[in-house]
Structure formats: C-alpha cells, structure tokens
Structure 1
Amino acid sequence: MTKMLATSEQQAIAKAFLAARSAKTPLTDYPGAMPQALDEAYAIQDSAIALDGRSIGGWKVGRIADDLVARYGGNRIAGPIFTDEIIDAADGDVPAMPVYGAGFAAAEAEVLLRFGDVDTRDYDIVSIRDAIAEVRTGIEIASSPFPGINQHGPAVTASDYGNNKGLVLGPPIAGWRDADLIAMPVEFRIDGERIGAATMEAMLDGPFGSALFLTRVLRARGIAIAPGTWVSAGAITGVHEIRPGQSAEALFDGKIRVSCTITG
C-alpha cells in the first residue's frame, strides 16, 4: 500500500461523513465516488481524521473476505477508534453505547490488545508479542450513518472510519502470554439469546496477526502508534447487527463476561 493524499472529491466525502456523524443523520447514498482501492479509502479516512481533531485511542481491524483478497491486495482493513468512544467496563459496568439507528449498527466480540512501546524493528508474528502490554476481552461497536457501509466492498467500509463507533473494554485475560487464545471459546448474545459462538481459529493468524498488520499499515500511512493504543483485533463470532434498545454480551472462555446496551 502507498500513502495517497486526498483529492478535493475525497476530502468532500470525508466532510460529508463527518457532518452526518455529527448531526446523527443518515446518508441514503454514498457521498461521492466510491473508493475502489484501499489507498483511496485511507486517503478519505486520513482526511476525516485530520478534520475530526479528536485523539485516537485505538484502531479496529476487520477482515477482508477471501474472495476479495486478490482484488484489494490484502486480507484486513483498519479504522480509528477515538479516545472519547472507548469505555472501560472491566469492573462489570454495562455502558450504554450509541449507534446510528437509521444507519448501520452492529456489535462484535473481540480480543483487545494494548500496545506498549512499538519500536522501529521489522516485527513478525512472534516478535510482535514484545510490543503488547495487555490483552483484554471486549466488544467493538460498528456503526456508520451510511446503511450500506458493508455492502460495497472493504474500501467503502474503510473510508468511514472502518465502520467504527466505539469500544467496550472488558476484563483482562490473565496469563495471556501462555494462554492458547486461538482455542478459547467465545459466545455472543443479544438480549440474552445466543446468536454466535466460535474460536479464533478462523481469524487468519489470530489477534497478534491483527496487531502485526496494524503496525505495517500505519507505518505505510505515516501514523505512529503511541504506547497505550488499543487494537480491536477482529470479529470472532461474526458481525451481529443490533438496534437501539437492545443489549449485547460476549462470554470468553465460559467465564469472562463483557456487556453493553445500545442507544440511538
């Protein structure tokens, strides 16, 4: 991937998404020419980040479907998670997480990695663990004012903050350096009904692979990773659409719970 400066049209798309997010109004149509490549999507995303002005406390990583990997030249995308939309619920709190009720909204069970110091080395899937300070359970809130955000390919998804609207930090995973995270069972419930169950075996090279991907894609974009930055490593049980008024709960290893309610 090469870093691309936003064109005037791409800047206009970024402004339209920011305006819709700020006003909490839906976008019936994509506000411009849809990006066809990830460098175009990240140009829009970078422009929106600069215009937004809020501090970034983490990044979400999402998977690109296998049949689209060749076209887009990779298997993951990234989007910013702003500090003011990261809620710590490690003590069992059940925060209310807002979504765009007339747009797209979903919740996902995810493993969350917190970066320590990220140096300039060329990390691999083993050494990236040296850059991780903590691993937690959590729920990513995916939401966009554009209802079709996930229907037009990963570049469109990436262009609007990767379809992120917040992050719930659940309890930590004790002994994560020695734990078999890949085999850990994870369940997801909406309004108490189990709608998804899986392990991380289907997550490409797992959560540490997501962290490795993120270091590389952010370096290519000239974005530094500050200590304390979170990585929401990817949906484990699926992308579960959700509506205001509903509740979500993720259960990790049969004993670690993290929950939230959804507001409009």
Structure 2
Amino acid sequence: MNSSIGRALASARLDGTKLAADPGPTPKSLAQAYEIQDEMIETISVPVVGWKIGANSPEARARLNTDQPLYGPLFDRWTYAAPTRIPTPNGALMVVEVEIAFRLKRDLELRDEAFSEQDVADAIGSVHPAIEIVDRRFRDTGKPVDAKWLIADGAANHAFIYGEGRTDWRALNLPELAVSVAMDGKVMGTGTGAESMGGPLKALHWLAEELRQKGKRLNAGNYIITGSLAPVFEGKRGVPIIGDFGALGQVEIVLA
C-alpha cells in the first residue's frame, strides 16, 4: 500500500483541512486499511494515548457495509479533560458521541493464548464518562461512507474528552447504565451501556483480542472509548453539550 496515502491523511489532520479527493485507490481490504492507519499514526508523530472503537452496533455496521467493529487511535494532542472547550476546524462535521471510557492500570502483555473477559477486566484502573467528537478528513461527496477509508482515517476521531473516573467501577452495572446527552439544554438522545456490543466491557475485550491477534497490545495508561451509546448528532459551536451517565457522572464541553 502506498505510504503517501497515510501521509496525506496525517497532513490533513494536523492542518485541520479536508482532502478534495481520495488520496489514492480505495484499500482492497480491512487489513490494507489498517496498514494505512499505521502509516498515518507513524507520520503524524503525536503520542497515541489510547484507542476508540467504532461500528459498535449492527445498525452502524450496516451503514458502513462491514460485518465487524473497527478501531482507531486516540492522540494526546486531541485528548482533553472535561469541562473544556474543543477547538474545531472550519468545515468540521462536529458529530457528538457519548461513550464509556476505560483507563488501564496495567499492560495486557502479548501472548499466544486468547484473553478472557476477566483478564481484560482485571487490567482496568478506572471508568470514565466520555464524549467523542467525530470528523473525517474527506470532503462530503454524498457517497456512502466506506469502512475501509474510515479505518485508514483513524476511525474518524477528532477529539476525545473524559470526565472524572471511578475506580470502584465494578459496583456499577455498566450494560444497564442509563446515558443521555443534551445540547443547549435540549436532550438529543438517550441509551444504555448495552448499546455497545452488549456492554462496554465486551467491546474492550473485542479490542484487546483484535490487537493481540495483530501482535499489538493495550498498555497501562491507555484510554479506550467503547462506542456511541445514544443517537449521534451534529454539535453547534458556543453552547454547552453535556453527557449525563448517572452514577458514573457527567462530562461537559463547548465546541469552539
């Protein structure tokens, strides 16, 4: 795969610009798409602080014409502690997703044996309410979004915002946790933790296994956001956007 594609995506992200056209031929497979993602990560030269999971529901996978979830990097430069203002470039999509985030307290060491869900749970240090702002580095052409280009583009992450975490997260029933999101005081959507692959821990387990099978691992200190739990919407600049996660707390942002 031509590494110039990864460089073009990295440049667009760093500059806050949109590519006028596809930067090369569409990847032939998900594997090639992840190779481009790796090239983008290497080129962008910003520390990776974790990972996002996308296409975490059957409906989302159907829209992207794929049969599996996908993942992409979270970069230090675009990671924020709430409450905060999030700079967004001109022409940004500013799509808002409310998600549950995990932060790991220890590495999930590479091994031949598959991880169990318990192995993954034991590596969790804290659980956080979170918002992700989604944007693509491609101009909107009206064509259906291709999952392979989405993967190459880092799964369309723009910003990750986390609220105060809880270390006693096992006291929470995460699949049944009720979540809502409001913009300028108006409720935009509701859901539960089960919206993401039956529960956020199941989503985290999927990612740990997906990376293990590729010879990669999750590291202590990594944040992992586990997918949207409520209908997504386009945010507006200058007004408060608040995700309410009940016992897990709130996360508040303003797009700027």
TM-score grouping bracket, smaller chain normalisation: 0.7 to 0.9
Q: Deviations over 1:124-143 (max 9, x none)?
A: 23332111111111111212
Per the normalisation by structure 2, the TM-score is: 0.87
Residue number in structure 2 paired with 1:192: 185
Aligned equivalent of 1:145, options 137, 162, 183:
137
Instruction: Report the TM-score, using the length of structure 1 for normalisation.
Output: 0.85
Tell me which residue corresponds to 2:225.
Answer: 232
- Is the deviation greater in 175-184 or in 95-104? 95-104
Residue 211 of structure 1: how far off its partner (Å) = 1.1
Percent of pairs identical after alignment? 24
Which of 245-254 and 178-187 deviates more?
245-254
Unaligned runs of 5+ in 1: 1-6
Match in the other structure for 1:52: 44
Q: Distance in 2 between matches of 1:143 and 1:28?
A: 15
Deviation at 1:152, TM superposition (A): 1.8
Q: 1:64 to 1:23 in 2, by over 3 A?
A: same
The aligned counterpart of 2:93 is 104
Per-residue Cα deviation, 1:202-257 (whole angstroms, up to 9, x for no partner): 32231111211221222233333221100011100122222433432100117822
Taking the aligned partners of 1:56 and 1:255, their CA distance within structure 2 comes to 25
Listed one character per residue, the Cα deviations across residues 169-201 of structure 1 (whole Å, up to 9, x for unaligned) are 102246311311111111011222111011122
Q: Which of the residues 102, 111, 118 maps onto 1:113?
A: 102
Q: Which amino acid aligns with 1:258?
A: V
Matches of 1:103 and 1:33 in 2, distance apart?
24
2:197 counterpart of 1:204? yes
* Alpha-carbon contact 2:12-2:19 (below 8 Å) kept: yes
Check whether the contact 1:87–1:95 (CA below 8 A) recurs between aligned residues: yes
Residue matched to 1:182: 175
Given that 1:113 and 1:134 are in contact with CA atoms closer than 8 Å, whether structure 2 keeps it comes out as yes
Alignment length (residue pairs): 250
Among candidates 68, 71, 87, match of residue 78 of structure 1: 71
RMSD: 2.4
Aligned-pair distance for 1:97? 1.2
Deviations 1:15-68 (A, max 9, x none): 211222222222233322223532121011000011111111011101255375
CA deviation string 1:122-173 (max 9, x = no partner): 2123332111111111111212232449932322211111111121110224
SS in structure 2 opposite 1:236? coil
Give distance in 1, aligned partners of 2:213 and 2:95: 29
